[in-house]
Chain A
Amino acid sequence: MKVLVAVKRVIDYNVKVRVKPDNSDVDLNNVKMAMNPFCEIAVEEAVRLKEKGVATEIVVVSIGPKVAQEQIRTSLALGADRGILIETEEKLESLTVAKLLKAVVEKEQPQLVVLGKQSIDSDNNQTGQMLGALTGLPQGTFASEVVVDGDKVNVTREVDAGLRTVGLSLPAIVTTDLRLNEPRYASLPNIMKAKRKPLETVSPADLGVEIKSTQTVVKVTPPAERSAGIKVADVAELVEKLKNEAKVL
């Protein structure tokens, strides 16, 4: 079966973001960029499905500027077979992203679509679910285990109260949580091989999707800073402070 994986280029998760002085946005100039960590987990899951003989082809799609090719190449080095870049310089909202992905799903007809549950920049946690609604496909979000069985997939989800498993008929959508797998590193030979794998570039217009925006960012500010408090010498002093100073015990 064919698996489609969507990946996003975001700020590297080790980088601490700074807000621009004019409060218009965060400052991404000269900041290291990388694949969204949840998307890495999505690629890894697809590669494991291929290694198990469940998946036969892995197509990776990304939406963004030309440099987002880097994240597609990384995915190809990890084991994906071919890539699609939907090239745009515009900042897109989740609904538009989901509409673009829907167009790719209609063209590619994958049996499984795997996405990260959220990107670490906008922290929206929306795209996979929106894609589900637009395509009419079922979803297994925040997945910690994915088991394909014939024309069904069982997805174990990390939920507030513990774990919950849902059974979905294929084709289906899965969004990954942290503990689904531990992504591998790409080997140098595979990085070299990835350069020769096919990567197609299309525009939103090619896919018949009009880019619309309904949200305006009024401002972006730094969070209220907590200042470091005091060090206490021992447990007795800690308990005394909590009782008499902070009055929380």
Chain B
Amino acid sequence: MTILVIAEHDNAALNAATLNVVAAAKQIGGDIEVLVAGEACGAVADAAAKIDGVSKVVVADNAAYKYQIAEPMGDLVAELGAGYSHILAAASTTGKDFMPRTAALLDVNMISDIVAVESADTFVRPIYAGNAIATVQSSDGVKVITVRGTGFDPVAAEGGSAAVEATAIVKESAISAFVSEELAASDRPDLAAAEIVISGGRGMGNGENFDILYKVADKLGAAVGASRAAVDAGFVPNDMQVGQTGKIVAPSLYIAVGISGAIQHLGGMKESKVIVAINKDEEAPIFQVADYGLVADLFDAVPELEKLV
């Protein structure tokens, strides 16, 4: 049994989510190989070769993969992955984009967003926005799987010394192309990887008021998130959304500020170790999942929190 893990990266650095995916692969068992598909992504391949437990790194270095567009990626992974027992990728917007294409090209079903491995063919995944947990057994010859990072503790980034080899497979796409992107520029930690996350909801009132969260975040080394309501209202950009259809986070400490606690939001953060809720409405559902609840006006409480931490 050999498992192919698709590396998550931006051509310059390996995304830490890959370490959680390798952890899932280890639980399945078997040899683990990593595909790094990109352009001028040698540094990523070197980093992948050092991951604990990886036996081989395959590099597809070509302009066609620079932006990891779904069409060439789906084609590449289907051709390369056909001989493997499992193909795993992070349940990121990149993995979710190309992996179903790969599965369909291999004429197999796909298992999305697994949070636990029961055996080599049986996996656990949330359904209904996390309100039910399904255990699913697959009879497909190749198991195509995306992995929710919060379900698996990452493996060590160092310690391995895998061989790196290049693949000659080039899949170009004449029907799709990268046009442009607007990436969030932030010096704060990545939401998905942060130890502490502080999120604001509709109660923040507007985008400028998020400044009080940024100040606390900078003192704590925290990432800043938002509820869907705050993103829909245009307070902050979409990449900050925590929730079932946004980012799934499970930090050591999650501080929900002015967030009522809709099911959709809880689905994205309720695996956090400690949850704090600050809300002036004591009936807010967020208090039902919070370890520590503070009924207070956030515009008083948050600046005070900044002073005391």
Contact between B183 and A239, CB atoms less than 8 A apart: no
- Check A160–B291 contact: CB distance below 8 A: no
Residues of A within 8 Å of B101, CB to CB, are 129-130, 132-133, 139
Name the residue in B110, B175, B177 with the highest tally of chain A Cβ atoms < 10 Å from its Cβ.
B175
Mark interface residues in B283-309 (1 if CB within 8 Å of A CB, else 0): 000011111111110000100110011
Expressed in whole angstroms, the Cα–Cα distance for A126 and B89 within the complex equals 14
Known: A138-B71, A223-B131, A231-B295. A248 touches B252 (CB 8 A): yes
Of chain B, the residue at the smallest CB distance from A127 is: B100
User: Is B132 an interface residue when CB atoms closer than 8 A count as contact?
Assistant: yes
Give the residue of A17, A172, A230 whose beta carbon is less than 8 angstroms from that of B292: A230
CA distance A62 to B232 in the complex (A): 28
Neighbour of A232 across the interface among B108, B113, B118, B292, CB < 8 A: B292
Which residues on the B side are within 8 Å of A188 (C-beta)? none
With A161-B183, A163-B182 as contacts: A142 and B175 at CB distance below 8 Å: no
A residues less than 8 Å from B181 (CB atoms) = 159, 161-165
- Name A238's contact: one of B94, B239, B270, B294 (CB within 8 Å): B294
Nearest residue (CB) in A for B289 is A226
Chain B CB within 8 A of A16 CB: yes
Does B165 lie at the interface of the complex (its beta carbon under 8 Å from any beta carbon of A)? no
Task: Check if A179 sits within 8 Å of B231, measured CB to CB.
Answer: yes
Total A residues in contact with B, Cβ cutoff 8 Å: 76
CB distance from A202 to the nearest CB of B (A): 22
A209-249 vs B, CB cutoff 8 Å, 1 = contact: the mask equals: 00000111111111100101111101110110110001011
- A207 interfacial by beta-carbon distance below 8 Å: no
**CB within 8 Å for A141 and B122 given contacts A158-B238, A161-B184, A235-B308:** no
Q: In this assembly, does B4 line the interface, its C-beta being within 8 Å of a C-beta of chain A?
A: no
Q: Which of A66-74, A92-100, A189-197 contacts B (4 or more CB under 8 A)?
A: A92-100
B209 contacts chain A at the CB level, 8 A cutoff: no
Contacts A223-B132, A238-B276, A249-B220 given; does A129 touch B238 at CB 8 Å: no
Query: Do A126 and B291 contact each other (CB < 8 Å), given the known contacts A11-B128, A134-B104?
Result: no
Residue of B nearest to A230 (CB): B292
Query: Are A235 and B93 neighbours in the complex by a CB distance under 8 Å?
Result: no
| Chain A residues with CB below 8 A from B118, complex form | 218
For residue B221, give the distance in angstroms from its CB to the closest CB of chain A: 11
Inter-chain CA distance A219–B10, complex, in Å, is 38
Complex contacts, B175 vs chain A, CB 8 Å: 137-138, 168-169, 172
B133 lies within 8 A of A223 (CB): yes
Residue of A nearest to B178 (CB): A166
- Interface mask (A104-119 → B, CB under 8 Å = 1, otherwise 0): 0000000000000110
Which residues of chain B have C-beta atoms less than 8 A from A200's C-beta?
none
Q: Tell me which of A95, A121, A214, A215 contacts B127 (CB under 8 A).
A: A121
With A16-B263, A129-B101, A161-B183 as contacts: A246 and B274 at CB distance below 8 Å: yes
In the complex, chain B residues 80-98 whose Cβ is within 8 Å of any chain A Cβ: 92-94, 96-98
Q: Is the CB of A204 closer than 8 A to any CB of chain B?
A: no
- List A16-66 residues whose CB lies under 8 Å from chain B: 16-17, 19, 26
Contact B288 A129 (CB under 8 A): no
B132 and A222 form a contact (CB under 8 A): yes
In the bound complex, do residue B301 and residue A235 qualify as a contact, i.e. CB atoms below 8 Å apart? yes
Residues of the A chain whose Cβ atoms lie less than 8 Å from the Cβ of B63: none
B138 touches A214 (CB 8 A): yes
Establish whether residues A123 and B113, one from each chain, have CB atoms under 8 Å apart when the complex forms: yes
Cβ of A187 within 8 Å of any chain B Cβ, yes or no, is no
Contacts known (A94-B110, A125-B112); A130 close to B104, Cβ less than 8 A: yes
Please tell me if B151 contacts chain A, counting CB pairs below 8 Å. Answer: no
- Among the listed A161, A165, A230, which residue makes an inter-chain contact with B239, where contact means beta carbons less than 8 Å apart? A161
Inter-chain contacts of A118 with B (CB < 8 A): 245
How far apart are the CA atoms of A8 and B177 in the complex, in Å?
30
Chain A residues with Cβ below 8 Å from B93 are 141-142, 157-160
User: A218 touching B238 by the CB < 8 A rule?
Assistant: no
Cβ contact within 8 Å between B276 and A228: no
B190–chain A nearest beta-carbon distance, Å = 9
Cβ of A172 to closest chain B Cβ, rounded Å = 8
Q: Which 5 residue pairs are nearest across A and B when measured between Cβ atoms? A: A129-B100, A229-B291, A130-B104, A133-B104, A138-B176
> Interface on A for B, CB 8 Å cutoff?
11, 16-17, 19, 26, 93-95, 98, 117-118, 120-134, 137-139, 141-142, 144, 154, 157-169, 172, 177-179, 214-223, 226, 228-232, 234-236, 238-239, 241-242, 246, 248-249
15 A-B pairs with C-beta separation under 8 A = A26-B128, A125-B100, A129-B104, A133-B100, A139-B97, A161-B181, A162-B184, A164-B178, A165-B180, A215-B140, A216-B139, A218-B122, A226-B288, A235-B308, A241-B292
| Beyond known contacts A129-B99, A160-B92, A160-B247: 14 more, CB 8 A cutoff | A120-B128, A130-B104, A133-B103, A138-B176, A162-B182, A165-B180, A214-B139, A220-B134, A222-B133, A232-B294, A239-B305, A246-B274, A248-B274, A249-B220
